[in-house]
Structure 1
Amino acid sequence: MGGENMTALVLRLGYVALNVTDMTAAARDAENIAGVRVVEKTATRMLMTSNQRHAELIFYKSDKNTVRCIGLEANNAECVAEVARRALDRGLHILSETPSLDAISHSVTFVTSEGHIFEVHTPMLCNQPIRYLCGGIHPRYIDHVNLTAENPKLIIEELVEVLGMKLSERSAGYEINWLRAGDHRHHTIGMVKGAPGLHHYSWEFADFADFKRLGDMLDADDRSLVWGPGRHGAGDNLFAYYLDSAGFLVECTAEMELIQHNEEPRIVDVGENLSNPKVVNRWGTLPPQMWIDHHSPFTDVR
């Protein structure tokens, strides 16, 4: 694929912004289960974080539960400018070059050809205390998203060309793909064939003991895990999934593989309906149909 030797302009996932009908309930759920805290609150927006960064999860009050934007942290302002140039060269729509938050100094927001919305931004202001009281797990940071696209190969090509990301692993027909950023984690963006949207976003947890606490937290709220715990073959990361109060699928992960060298992407066979445990879940339990079918659309800005 063209652009495989390009240098990544983005370092990691910056934030996930979601439109929700009940902002208070969504924030309470993130506090009680994931264990993130509120940084700022207005009548229309709530900023939340799990570490010193000013915001990682953002809720906007809306009449529908949709994905508003995915933030990607660039190395510096020069990288942001280069992303803007490449997006225009690729013929992608630039929504804005004004940062969405005061805690960001420079950014560009663009839309893929299938409507995925990304804000590539300079590093988020780190102005929050490293420790805080919470009732949930307290993740280390927000770490990746899995998106869906009707033509995953095309969207992967756009993201490789515009963002300089690298393809770590994919299925033979590009039905499922994993893209890494500059921090070398196996994937910051996953891309799966389906109606354009978000499949899930993920928090990085400290260790496996957090997964036990997650199950107990959900049980205390008369809820349960959607899938897991287990260990993905692609990425080698521990995982467990649950649905939040707004219906978004949330993954909790740990121990993701690091790829330090500029190697060619691995080609894997995920099996019919994700039936290959060596790729999907090395511990054997395969995903339920509700996990496979889950989908959250982006806000339509085209």
Structure 2
Amino acid sequence: MALGAVSEMGYLAMRTRAYEESLQLATEVLGLRLTRDSGDRAYLAAADRHHELVYVKGDADGIDHIGLVAESAESLEVIRKKVEAGRFRIITRSPFEEAIGEGFAFVGPENYVFHIYTGMAGHRHGPASFGPDRYGHINIHPQDARAMKDFLVEFLGFKVSDVIGQNFAYFLRCNADHHGVAIIKGRGSLHHHAWQTQSIADLGRLGDRLFALGRRLIWGPVRHGAGHNIAAYYVEPNGTVVELYTDLEQIHDELRPPIEWSADDRTWFNRWGVYNGEDFRSHGAFPVELA
């Protein structure tokens, strides 16, 4: 169920100085499958597609770009025209990554690069002993939360599911998932990328796999109020946080008005405790400048 020109969260591409360690955690802890590794660029996925996560070996950690799926070739052209009219800098008018049919990339608010595309090649990974079902969403901490929200709504067709406080946080959806992009006012970093799993028991097993490697969860399992999902989190080598979640709210009413939360009502963040998350929010990686 597409709500606008963008119908799906496609993938996330990140730079990392700890390339091999990042791949180890993604495969042995999170449970993603490796599609291809060129030695300095690795493609991974949970679902049967070419990639949902890309690691790029680099001299600095950071966010390379965000891939979003346009509903159709016509939707892709609509977005392209809006981007041009908005005078955003277009980096390329052809696909930014391999295994993609048609697309273009541009620099959006706060230097985040967005790759809008249609059609990604499938990849048969085969059965897995553990791992998530699919890539689900990202959480960005822009300096101007309202401007980032307005961009996603006006240029890409996202709809607002929940609003927290006065221009503090927004949860936005592009399909039935409660959010594909969560925005919380912050330093300008991308805080976490999130992956859907079947059961809360999988969150416990994630903690066990981390412990076996001498690592720990930084938070969870926890039940959020906004989105209702149960989640657990750990930090990966480039500073971003990985979320494994289950039981995310599904919204099938396109006209459902946003739920508004008082900034003082912290149950939007944590329904099972009193933790306020300030140290949790200190993690993240910033967008890197692309030529």
TM-score normalised by L of structure 1: 0.91
- Alpha-carbon deviations, 1:126-178, whole Å to 9, x = none? 12234245xxx410001000011111111111111111110111123121111
Q: Which residue of 1 aligns with 2:118?
A: 122
Rounded Cα–Cα distance in structure 2 between residues aligned with 1:219 and 1:64:
27
1:108 aligns with 2:97: no
Rounded Cα–Cα distance in structure 2 between residues aligned with 1:197 and 1:111:
15
Conserved 8 A contact 1:50-1:56: yes
Shifted more, 43-52 versus 282-291: the winner is: 282-291
Matches within 5 A, 1:156-167: 156-167=149-160
Q: Which residue of 1 aligns with 2:135?
A: 142
- Alpha-carbon deviations, 1:67-91, whole Å to 9, x = none? 0011111212221111111111222
1:286 aligns with 2:275: yes
- Alpha-carbon deviations, 1:211-255, whole Å to 9, x = none? 110111111111111111011000000111101133221111111
Q: Which residue of 2 aligns with 1:168?
A: 161
Rounded Cα–Cα distance in structure 2 between residues aligned with 1:68 and 1:206:
29
Q: Which residue of 1 aligns with 2:50?
A: 54
Conserved 8 A contact 1:227-1:287: no
Q: Which residue of 2 aligns with 1:249?
A: 241
Rounded Cα–Cα distance in structure 1 between residues aligned with 2:3 and 2:31:
34
Rounded Cα–Cα distance in structure 2 between residues aligned with 1:132 and 1:211:
17
Conserved 8 A contact 1:68-1:117: yes
- Deviation for aligned residue 1:7: 4.4
- Deviation for aligned residue 1:125: 1.4
Conserved 8 A contact 2:165-2:263: no
Matches within 5 A, 1:34-49: 34-49=30-45
1:202 aligns with 2:194: yes
Residue segments in structure 1 that go unaligned for 5+ positions in a row: 1-5
- Deviation for aligned residue 1:16: 0.8
Rounded Cα–Cα distance in structure 2 between residues aligned with 1:265 and 1:91:
29
Q: Which residue of 1 aligns with 2:146?
A: 153
Superposition RMSD on alpha carbons, in Å?
Answer: 1.7
Conserved 8 A contact 1:167-1:180: yes
Q: Which residue of 1 aligns with 2:7?
A: 11
Rounded Cα–Cα distance in structure 1 between residues aligned with 2:119 and 2:72:
7
Count of residues paired in the alignment? 289
Rounded Cα–Cα distance in structure 2 between residues aligned with 1:241 and 1:191:
17
TM-score normalised by L of structure 2: 0.94
Amino acid at match of 1:243: V
Rounded Cα–Cα distance in structure 2 between residues aligned with 1:78 and 1:259:
25
Cα distance change, pair 215–7 in 1 and its aligned pair in 2 (3 A): closer
